[in-house]
Amino acid sequence: MTDTQKRVAMGYIKGAFGVKGWVKVAADTEYSDSLLGYPEWRLRKDKDVRTVAVESGKLNGHGIQVNFHGLA
């Protein structure tokens, strides 16, 4: 995908969960667990964008909890 093409936000990080690098994610998709099918996510804060690998994830109520490889 080129820089001129639009990307769609599929959720956002709500905050940290625990002390081992897990984060709470609010999914903006019909099924929250559908995001766990993507092995890599692009995270953006302001103009900083990075691609990270999902190490593990699980459903938690109406959201999900995710741990990214190398981010602890």
Q: What is the pLDDT of residues 13-67, one digit of tens each?
A: 999 998 888 999 999 988 888 999 999 999 999 989 999 999 999 998 878 999 9
Alpha carbon separation from 64 to 2, 11, 15 (Å, rounded)? 29, 10, 11
- Integer-rounded Cα Rg, in Å, for the chain is 12
Instruction: Give the pLDDT of residue 59.
Output: 92
Q: Are 47 and 12 in contact (CB under 8 A)?
A: no
Give the predicted TM-score (pTM) of the model: 0.80
